[in-house]
Amino acid sequence: MKIAHHRWPITVLYTVAFAVIAALSFGIFALSNRTLIWYLDGITQHYPMIIELHRLLVQHGLGGLAGWSWTFGLGVDKLTTLSYYVLGDPFAYLLALLPTRLLESGYGWFVVARLYATGLAFLPLAKTYRFKPLSQLLGSLTYAFTGYSLMIGVHHPFFLMPMIWMPLLFVGIERILRGKNWGVLGLVTGLAILSNFYFAYILGLGSLLYAGIRFWHRKTDRSLLVSGWQALRRFVTAALSGVLLAGIFLVPSLLMMLHSTRAAATFANGLWLYPASYYLKLSNAVLTTGNGLSYWAVLGMSGLTFLGCVYVLVHWKQHRFLAGTLLAIVVGLGFPAVAAFFNVLSTPSNRWLLLAVVPFTLATMVLADHLTELTVVDRRWIGGAAAGLLLCVYLSNGLVFNNPGRNLITYGLFLALTAALVGSGQQPAKLVVPVVCALVGLNLVNNAWGYYDPNASQQATQQLRRGDATKYLTDYYDGAQVVPQASKTFTRVNQLPSFNVFRTAGNNYAMLHNLHGIMSYFSVENGYVGQFSQDLQNSQYQMNSPITQIDNRTGMNHLLGVKTIFARQDQIEDQMALPYGYHVTKKIFAEKPVYALSNGTGTQLLTTNLNFPLVYSQPKALSAAQWRSLSGYDRERSLTQAALVDHPKASQRTTYHSPGKTLDYTVTANTIPVVDSTNKLIQYRLKQAFAGQKNNLNNKQSANFGQTLKMPKLTLDENGLMTKQEEAQYGPMVQLDQNREAVDRVLTQNQEIVARTNEANANGLKQLTSDAQGTPISYTLTIKRPKLAQGTELYLDLSGIEAQRLTTQDQLHAEDNTSVLGATPRSDLTKLNDWRDAVNSPDLGDYWVKAQTRNQTKSFTQLGIDNLSDYEPKHQVLLNLGYSQKKRETVDITFSTTRQITFKSVKLVAMPFNQRYDRQVHAAQKRGLQNAQVRDNRVSGQLTTNQASVLTTSIPYSTGWRLMVDGRTTPTTVVNDGFVGAQIGAGKHQIVLTYQTPGLKLGTAMTGVGLLFLLLGSGWTWFHRPTKRKHKH
- pLDDT 10s digits, 332-349: 999 999 999 999 999 999
Give the separation between CA 924 and CA 611, rounded to whole angstroms: 10
Confidence category of residue 292, pLDDT binned at 50, 70, 90: confident
Residue type, 914: N
Residues 121-135: b if buried by 16+ CB within 10 A, e if exposed: bbbbbbebeebebbb
State pLDDT tens for residues 896-906.
Answer: 989 999 999 99
Give the separation between CA 52 and CA 56, rounded to whole angstroms: 6
> Which DSSP string corresponds to 788-826?
GGTTEEEEEEEES-EEEPPPHHHHHHHHHHHHHHHT---
- Give the CA distances from residue 25 to residues 57, 459, 975, 1020, in Å, rounded to whole numbers and listed in that order: 33, 15, 54, 47
pLDDT at 510 over 90: yes
Q: What mean pLDDT is predicted for residues 392-421?
A: 91
pLDDT of residue 899: 93
Confidence category of residue 959, pLDDT binned at 50, 70, 90: very high
Q: What mean pLDDT is predicted for residues 401-406?
A: 82
Please, how many CA atoms are within 13 Å of residue 440, restricted to the half-sphere of its CB? Answer: 31
pLDDT of residue 1031: 42
Count of CB atoms situated within 10 Å of the CB of 475: 18
776 has which bridge partners?
A: 770
Q: What mean pLDDT is predicted for residues 472-497?
A: 95
Give the separation between CA 858 and CA 794, rounded to whole angstroms: 11
Q: What mean pLDDT is predicted for residues 610-625?
A: 96
pLDDT at 1015 over 90: no
Q: What mean pLDDT is predicted for residues 1008-1020?
A: 85
Q: What mean pLDDT is predicted for residues 8-13?
A: 92
69 has which bridge partners?
A: 76
pLDDT at 703 over 60: no
pLDDT of residue 1006: 96
Q: What mean pLDDT is predicted for residues 630-658?
A: 95
pLDDT of residue 693: 64
Count of CB atoms situated within 10 Å of the CB of 619: 18
Give the separation between CA 276 and CA 273, rounded to whole angstroms: 9
Q: What mean pLDDT is predicted for residues 149-162?
A: 93
Question: Based on C-alpha coordinates, what's the Rg of the chain?
Answer: 33
pLDDT of residue 1030: 42
Contact in structure between 288 and 410 (CB atoms under 8 Å):
yes
Give the separation between CA 214 and CA 926, rounded to whole angstroms: 69
pLDDT at 1020 over 90: no
Confidence category of residue 326, pLDDT binned at 50, 70, 90: very high
Where is 478: in which H helix or E strand? none
DSSP 3-state assignment of 744?
A: helix
Give the separation between CA 414 and CA 429, rounded to whole angstroms: 20
pLDDT at 1029 over 60: no
pLDDT at 176 over 60: yes
- pTM recorded for the entire structure: 0.93
Contacts of 575 (CB under 8 A, 6+ apart): 855
Contacts of 443 (CB under 8 A, 6+ apart): 302, 303, 304, 410, 413, 414, 417
pLDDT of residue 6: 65
Give the separation between CA 550 and CA 530, rounded to whole angstroms: 12
pLDDT of residue 1026: 60
Contact in structure between 385 and 353 (CB atoms under 8 Å):
no
Confidence category of residue 44, pLDDT binned at 50, 70, 90: very high
Mean pLDDT, rounded, of the chain: 92
State pLDDT tens for residues 444-481.
Answer: 999 999 888 888 888 888 899 999 999 999 999 999 99
Lowest mean pLDDT among 83-92, 134-143, 258-267, 346-355: 258-267
pLDDT at 890 over 50: yes
Q: What mean pLDDT is predicted for residues 499-503?
A: 77
- Give the CA distances from residue 2 to residues 20, 370, 405, 429, in Å, rounded to whole numbers and listed in that order: 19, 18, 39, 15
State pLDDT tens for residues 797-839.
Answer: 999 999 999 999 999 999 999 999 998 888 888 998 899 899 9
